[in-house]
Amino acid sequence: MAGNEIFAGLGQGNVACLGECMVELVERPDGLLARGYGGDTLNTAVYLARLDVPVRYVTALGDDDLSDAMLAAWSREGIDVSSVFRVPGRVPGLYLIRTDSEGERHFTYWRDSAPVRQLFDETSAQAAEKALAAASVIYLSGISLSLFSGEARGRLFGSLGRLRQGGRRIVFDSNFRPRGWRDISDALEAYDQILRMADMVLAGEDDFKLLNQTTGASLIDFLARYELPEVVVKLMKPGCVVLAEGSRTDVPVAAVVQPLDTTAAGDSFAAAYLAARLKGMRPAKAAIAGHALASVVIRHSGAILPQDAMPADLFGTPSNLDQS
């Protein structure tokens, strides 16, 4: 079976990442704060662009100086910002990161009035769908879903359904933050809907543990009911399981490293995996690339690596798995 069946006919694809970027404040050991910008799907978009995948970011910002600075930074990374909507009089959301001695992050958010929450309102949903339609692959996360009210999320799902019928591929990352949801039942209903239309799912065991504590089923058994074409299960221990092409492949991390900061570990894995698949690599090889990039990212502070720290030959990472 061809290694690139999901993306057959797309070439290397054009990816639209849907989500939110916020002002990021990182608390340093001395208590001072460093300002940056971050968001899960934005992080993935940056790494996709650095891996030579054409990518656009679909979101909404304000008309303030911070929003201007975000757009300029994304453009410098090679991201297409023509699908970023501007909302007069509004400002982006904000979050604070504290990192503990184990490299784990703790977040505090101020985002209830962020302009992206209007993206699928009745007056703007058609324009947002048109922006997504400009790409052949649409990438979104559980955090993306949590941005919208029930009605707006319904319009988003309607758009995704039409776009998929029109030949676009839907890639979903399970990234879950409880604070963004009204309650767990609301989240489970949204996840059920997106899993019924996704072509590829990147699912985290830790997300599933938070989401679904009432069933004894494993994450792999849970996802099996959706008959998804391709699934990557990111394990709580280092490594992942790839379910694709009718088989299961366990892909361990080549070398476990002590993290300095786990910010964007999953986002960078997703970018490398998706980029590898779009370049025609087999799923197991794509997972190796995902591990390789994430292992570098977690050894640096912050979500985005300095340009000179990017792995030089990410897709040539050696392995005893299928190299074709």
**Domain segments of the chain as ranges:** 14-20+39-83+115-310
Answer positive or negative: Cα dihedral of 250, 267, 238, 107: negative
Residue 40: CB atoms within 10 A of its CB come to 25
Q: Is 10 helix (H, G, I), strand (E, B) or coil?
A: coil
Going residue by residue through the chain, which has 324 residues, state the pLDDT in tens, using 9 for 90 and above: 234 578 877 766 799 999 999 998 888 888 899 888 889 999 999 999 999 999 999 999 999 999 999 999 999 999 999 999 999 999 999 988 887 877 677 888 888 889 999 999 999 999 999 999 999 999 999 999 999 999 999 999 999 999 999 999 999 999 998 888 999 999 999 999 999 999 999 999 988 888 876 556 788 888 988 999 999 999 988 899 999 988 999 999 988 888 888 889 999 999 999 999 999 999 999 999 999 999 999 999 888 999 999 998 898 755 544 443
Look up residue 74 and give its two tokens: 């994304």
DSSP 186-198: HHHHHHHHHHTT-
Give the model's pLDDT for residue 147: 96
Q: Kindly report the length of the chain.
A: 324
Question: Cα 239 to the chain's mean position, in Å?
Answer: 18
Cα(274)–Cα(238) distance, integer angstroms? 19
Q: Give the catalytic positions in this structure.
A: 267
Give the model's pLDDT for residue 257: 85
Cα(96)–Cα(105) distance, integer angstroms? 10
Bridge-based pairing state of the strands 33-38 and 22-27: antiparallel
Give the model's pLDDT for residue 285: 94
Give the model's pLDDT for residue 301: 83
Give the model's pLDDT for residue 34: 87
Q: What are phi and psi of 304, to 5 degrees?
A: -115, 125
* Domain 14-20+39-83+115-310, CATH class in plain words: alpha beta
DSSP state of 310: S
Helices (runs of H) and strands (runs of E) counted in the chain: 10, 13
Instruction: Determine contact, residues 163/132, Cβ cutoff 8 Å.
Output: yes
Instruction: Determine contact, residues 55/80, Cβ cutoff 8 Å.
Output: yes
Give the model's pLDDT for residue 321: 45
Bridge-based pairing state of the strands 230-234 and 94-99: unpaired
Give the model's pLDDT for residue 2: 38
Segment (H or E) for 108:
strand 105-110
Q: What are phi and psi of 25, to 5 degrees?
A: -115, 125
Q: Is 137 helix (H, G, I), strand (E, B) or coil?
A: strand
